[in-house]
Amino acid sequence: MSSRTLRASRLAAAGVVAVIRAPDPELVPELGAALVAGGITALEITTSTPRFADAIRATRVALGDQVLIGAGTLMEPAQCDEAISAGAEFAVSPVFRPALIPGCHAAGVPVLLGAFTPTEAQAVHESGADFVKLFPAEVLGLKFIKGLKAPLPHLRLVPTGGVDATNAGEFRRAGCAAVGVGGSLVKPDLLKAHDWPALTALAAALVASWRS
């Protein structure tokens, strides 16, 4: 099994991808540990985090192989190169950026590209991306996802936006490969207060919902 296939399998097995937008890169290893304590095993550190590559590198050192660490909000191949050099194991863009795929795949890194319509979702699939990031999922909703999967069951969908502990399991039952969860999990007020026990509790509830 190739490293890319193995990482894609680990991402799907994780189910819940925590999307981290931290105001300070030095917070990321700590908050990552809190998320892992709640059962989350995939972290997406976005480029909106200052010195995001440093945050990826430090989190990789702190948490090791117990978590799959990726980079998010990627727009240019150079950002992918920077993230992969820092230890990123998957790459995510909120939009359709097929130019990101060759470099990532050459490094054994699976890619999630953004889509909003059925045509875009199929285009992401045909581009060779490993997953389709449906974004923003709170606008599309579960009915859209069920309707999309009916004629296009081959799509490996990862909805992001609007997912929380009340509905994560419903997204899984609708046929999604995983879900991305940002603001409803990694809440700014918890980061500001360094309230890691509360973050761990939120993570545990979200994972339980997904596994239900």
**Cα-based angle 31, 95, 15 (whole degrees, multiple of 5):** 45
Give CA–CA dist 11/179, Å, rounded.
10
**Cα-based angle 121, 77, 61 (whole degrees, multiple of 5):** 100
Q: Return the SS3 of 62.
A: helix
Give CA–CA dist 152/53, Å, rounded.
35
Task: Report yes or no: 161 and 138 within 8 Å, Cβ to Cβ.
Answer: yes
List active site positions.
44, 133
